[in-house]
Structure 1
Amino acid sequence: MSTSTTPSPAAPALRHFLVDTDLTPAEQSEVLDLAQAMKADRFQHRPLAGPQTGIVFFDKTSTRTRVSFAAGIADLGGQPLIINPGDSQLGHKESIADTAQVLSRMVSVIVWRTFAQSGLQEMAEHSSVPVINALSDDYHPCQLLADLLTVREHKGHTEGLVMAYLGDAANNMANSYLLAGVTAGMHVRIAGPAGHLPEQGVVAAAEDRAAETGGSVLVTTDAMQALDGADVVVTDTWISMGQEDEKEARQSLFRDYAVDARAMSAAAQDAIFLHCLPAYRGFEVSAEVIDGPQSVVFDEAENRLHAQKALMAWLLYRSGLATAPDSAPGGAGVVPEPARR
């Protein structure tokens, strides 16, 4: 006599967020929907209740990232554990791979603000809990979730909007604006001086994603071409960590890409201005713009909290490490196996 058995359903795949395109367009929209719901009801979602621990490593200094992740983990019912440089053996006395395996047995999410993207990739390869890129030298994907949430709030949507980024475009912010912007269906224009533009590999990846969403990519040295009719105008500091000795040279190099009243007049009349902060008034942006009526930089800063909470919850739900409320955007019906702690 033969018998048959019904195979048990496969466990959900573990999800990480290391680069903007780790989320499909539909998934990015789910996270942003969830962020809007969380902003409206801050304590509805408690996937880290227990409290479970979320560990946040900082290899670089931070204000918004530190506070938003610490507050966000607490809001989700968890306990944040902040590790500063020199507080652990990560990367010098103990390998990233060993650290990932140890932490996975103790914490529910690993967040890392670091230098090399390769370190985050290695952490994710050996972790059995979600790993989140809180900033690397190559990408700043959590910032972009906050920016897109802000655009949604002020414009009602992202699809079809033109986003213009001006300044130092050979950095993590420009890379993430390209990738996340086109994932959201936006037309992303990047303007900076020759030699300070995104690498071709990032541009090609953005073009591939844009082909899926109806977005587009323009990389130019002409600031006015990028600004023409833009719905969203963005810049970033010209002087990143480690470049303080280059202040005068960089000010001269990027002067034509400053966002001032003249620049904003080339954008759409109802354009909004974004800056991830900290900002240097009189350098990359004038006080008239950042402190003016088109600036939404403090909404943007606040939205780091809501976007990152949504991201953490979404990763836990989709990885099968927590159960989403039926009312959660994109979360209804997610009934994972019990979380392993």
Structure 2
Amino acid sequence: MTSVFKGRSFLAEKDFTKEELQYLIDFSQHLKGMKANNQPHRYLDGKNIALLFEKNSTRTRAAFTVAAVDLGAHPEFLGANDIQLGTKESVEDTAKVFGRMFDGIEFRGFSQQVVEDLANYSGVPVWNGLTDEWHPTQMIADFLTIQENFGELTGLTIAYCGDGRNNVANSLLVTSAILGVNIHVVTPKALQPEATIIAQAQAYAKESGAKILVTDDVDQGVLGADVVYTDVWVSMGEEEKFQERIEQLLPYQVNQSLMKKTQNDQVIFMHCLPAFHDDQTTYGKKAAQAYGISEMEVTDEVFRSKYARQFDQAENRLHSIKAIMAVTAGDLFIPKV
């Protein structure tokens, strides 16, 4: 299986089969165990990794940096002021230069086309740390977290509550459909995923047996869910829409009442973070002062409850990113997992 990954980029979940995605989840779990037992796994020993960040990040940058070091590689961070893709130098030219200097490239930014061009022209594996369309490395961590809790994935149901048009919603739709996990996107009609994304997910679901539901009805959408997942209401670059999003999405807030509507005692809560669950941040304080709301997409009660798995998710970003880098840019010496 590992040979099918060598030299490939990881740009979007749709580029991989169910078996390949499941392998990455399982290998992430394997590497997590190796790290816990202090077993070396330097599959990228002596290699150099470029970390290109147009968008700021906490977990993605930390996970890629620690993952690279654990694998024996040297990570080099290049922020928005360092790269200026398409401004002073074309993406094609930048990719060709970086491909001669680095053994792999991570990109986190706005345009999916940019990360695809980096992959097309660099000649080395490129990993999508997030674009406006997709968030594939997050998905491997998320489904690892779900697998750790339930022991399997097929037949489970995820209810995503919130902004249905963002990259996390897109990725959850498609990845769930590929893996055979039922996915409910619970969102106002005005914020439902694009029809093309839904159609894409439905095509995968026909093969995997997953059931897809896109609804503005909270009661219907969360009933029977094994996982309730949410994300921030206002994505990067949309900060001027705070008032509008609060009005649209307050009925979809993940609170204790919503969790009970699942009618599932084993349900877990997930969030890719950061989360606006209180007013202890600058954003939180501004929202409290301007809009009179101290909790947004999730209440503090749920965030700190027995359901919560968001910090497991955050840790699993490290293990999943490590697995993705290792199988695409490394020479593996591993048992079958």
Please say whether Structure 1 and Structure 2 have the same fold, judged by a TM-score greater than 0.5: yes
For this pair of structures, how many residues does the alignment match?
A: 314
For the pair 1:63 / 2:58, whether they are aligned, the reply is yes
Distance 2:66 2:144 in 1: 18
The C-alpha deviation readout for 1:110-141, integer Å capped at 9, x for no partner, is 10001011111111111211111100001111
The C-alpha deviation readout for 1:63-106, integer Å capped at 9, x for no partner, is 00010001111111001101001113532111111111111111
Match in the other structure for 2:319: 306
For the pair 1:233 / 2:228, whether they are aligned, the reply is yes
Identity of aligned residues (%): 39
What secondary structure is seen at the aligned counterpart in 2 of 1:133?
strand
Match in the other structure for 2:31: 38
Q: How does 1:76-155 map to 2 (within 5 A)?
A: 76-155=71-150
- Per the TM alignment, residue 168 of structure 1 is displaced from its structure 2 partner at its CA by 0.5
Q: TM-score, normalised by structure 2?
A: 0.90
Structure 2 residue aligned with 1:296, among 309, 326, 330? 309
For the pair 1:161 / 2:156, whether they are aligned, the reply is yes
Mark the runs of 5 or more structure 2 residues left unpaired by the alignment: 278-294
Match in the other structure for 1:315: 328
Distance 1:23 1:134 in 2: 16
- Per the TM alignment, residue 288 of structure 1 is displaced from its structure 2 partner at its CA by 0.8
For the pair 1:176 / 2:171, whether they are aligned, the reply is yes
Distance 1:11 1:232 in 2: 31
Match in the other structure for 1:186: 181
Higher radius of gyration, 1 or 2 = 1
What secondary structure is seen at the aligned counterpart in 2 of 1:80?
strand
Task: Please say if residues 189 and 218 of structure 1, whose CA atoms lie closer than 8 Å, have aligned partners that are also in contact.
Answer: yes
> RMSD of the alignment, in Å?
1.6
Measured at CA, do residues 89 and 199 of structure 1 come closer, stay the same or move farther in structure 2, by a change above 3 Å? closer
Match in the other structure for 1:24: 17
Match in the other structure for 1:335: none
Structure with greater helix percent: 2
- Per the TM alignment, residue 12 of structure 1 is displaced from its structure 2 partner at its CA by 8.0
Task: Please say if residues 255 and 283 of structure 1, whose CA atoms lie closer than 8 Å, have aligned partners that are also in contact.
Answer: yes
Distance 1:327 1:66 in 2: 29
What secondary structure is seen at the aligned counterpart in 2 of 1:245?
helix
Mark the runs of 5 or more structure 1 residues left unpaired by the alignment: 1-9, 317-321, 330-341
The C-alpha deviation readout for 1:261-311, integer Å capped at 9, x for no partner, is 111001121100000001011111111111100001100100000011001
Measured at CA, do residues 254 and 89 of structure 1 come closer, stay the same or move farther in structure 2, by a change above 3 Å? closer
For the pair 1:210 / 2:205, whether they are aligned, the reply is yes
What secondary structure is seen at the aligned counterpart in 1 of 2:235?
coil
Distance 1:41 1:87 in 2: 35
Distance 1:273 1:84 in 2: 32
